[in-house]
Structure 1
């Protein structure tokens, strides 16, 4: 696997708050259940539990703002949509989408051991 991508982080986030959520998470490299049995790539097998441990530790240590943590919690723990979160937080749904986007990005960057780059200005400054 080439690190923690946004999609994988979003896939794993519910398991931060719900230990039983891990039972519904499939390993991205696993074949469909209705596929015939075949050979298994031993290098890619068995990473799910490591990912679950990483996401839980990453949640505690990533440099997330309180607003980002709240938005991520409401989305991935409570399964609320943007409008409901926005009403609860007293902001627009666009602000919530920004908080979610930025929060997932920061968490993925932290898990990958890199700095989160928020804009093209920061990208040019880092180069």
Structure 2
């Protein structure tokens, strides 16, 4: 299941192949922990997540403004004020577009229809 945090964690890899090298598996143990035996077939879902996030970016029903805001935030790593100046909107509008865009991608990857307040619906059920 894809949640907002995982989508935000993976989005930079959509625009830069090299950024995937900096992505850590959030469920992996710390590097200083003793090594144990690991089945390589079940060791990590990272590559599946990377493929899914690229598919989600290409196929999610995002508006042009949401796509632009996501590229400026996660692709170019610009602060909201600069992204807003480039888009001709306020920084608050950029945050709203990013929030909706991330939510739409997460819902699309989960096979659900996006509804505003998606995270609150998950907690209620």
Q: 2: CA distance between counterparts of 1:70 and 1:81?
A: 13
Partner of 2:26: 28
Partner of 2:85: 87
TM-score (norm 2): 0.88
Q: 2: CA distance between counterparts of 1:62 and 1:71?
A: 15
Q: Which residues of structure 1 form unaligned runs of 5+?
A: none
SS at match of 2:36: coil
Partner of 1:68: 66
Offset of 1:29 from its aligned partner? 1.5
Offset of 1:45 from its aligned partner? 2.4
Q: Tell me: CA distance 1:111–1:87, structure 2 relative to 1, closer, same or farther (3 Å).
A: same
Q: Tell me: CA distance 1:36–1:95, structure 2 relative to 1, closer, same or farther (3 Å).
A: same
TM-score (norm 1): 0.86
- Indicate yes or no: 2:120 matched with 1:100: no
C-alpha RMSD over aligned residues: 1.9
**Length, aligned pairs only:** 119
Partner of 2:10: 12
Q: Which residues of structure 2 form unaligned runs of 5+?
A: none
